[in-house]
Amino acid sequence: MTTYLQHTCHLLTTFDAYLISQVSRSENSHADALARLALAIEQGISCNIHMEFLDQPSTHTPLIYTIDHNPTWMDPIVQFLQDQTLPVDPAEARRVRYCSARYLIINGALYKRGFSLPYLQCLTLEEANYILWEIHEGICGNHSSARSLAHKAIQQGYFWPSLHTGA
């Protein structure tokens, strides 16, 4: 409805003068009949109603996608691995350069290399909370402590820096 209002307001700017008035339902039987067309056909009411089927919508709304990117712990590492860009702070740059040796990007996803484990997929905080919730709710069996919960997340192939404290 908002789209039609915007379209109407745009069209009204092309007129020099106009008058908007409300038409009562009794005086607008043609529009009322269109609104109740299915009922009119069932009851066999004989009246001429012009119908037109539109192939395309009468209004065009642009597609709007919201992109909400909150900075994550992975961003500096991914940025360094993709295009060798380091943070401005020298201490942070040294940390990123040192840490990035243990990470790699496969098909756009960041993975951590383990010593004797397969690659662990790195997660954001929201994804990590969901994984912990799934493990905690019993999809992977019950657990006895935070340590075993964190171990089960690692066994499933996931990693995030606060894995042991978040569990």
Tokens 């642009």 locate to 62
Whole-structure pTM value: 0.49
Q: Which domains does the chain have, with CATH numbers?
A: 75-166 (1.10.340)
**Where does the chain have alpha helices with state H?**
2-12, 29-35, 37-43, 75-83, 90-99, 125-136, 146-155, 163-166
Condensed to tens digits (0 to 9), the pLDDT of residues 70-82 reads 888 888 888 889 9
Q: Is the pLDDT of residue 108 over 70?
A: yes
Query: 35 is written with which tokens?
Result: 């609104």
DSSP 118-130: --EEE--HHHHHH
Q: How confident is the model at residue 41 (pLDDT cuts 50, 70, 90)?
A: low
Say if CB 96 and CB 86 are below 8 A apart: yes
Q: Is the pLDDT of residue 49 over 70?
A: no
**Dihedral, CA of residue 26, residue 31, residue 35 and residue 38, to nearest 10:** 100
Per the prediction, the chain carries an average pLDDT of 76
pLDDT for res 1: 63
Residues of the chain with pLDDT > 90, as a percent, come to: 1
Choose between 156 and 114: higher pLDDT.
Answer: 114
d(CA 82, CA 15): 55
Q: What is the mean pLDDT of residues 144-153?
A: 69
Q: Is the pLDDT of residue 167 over 60?
A: no
Say if CB 120 and CB 129 are below 8 A apart: no
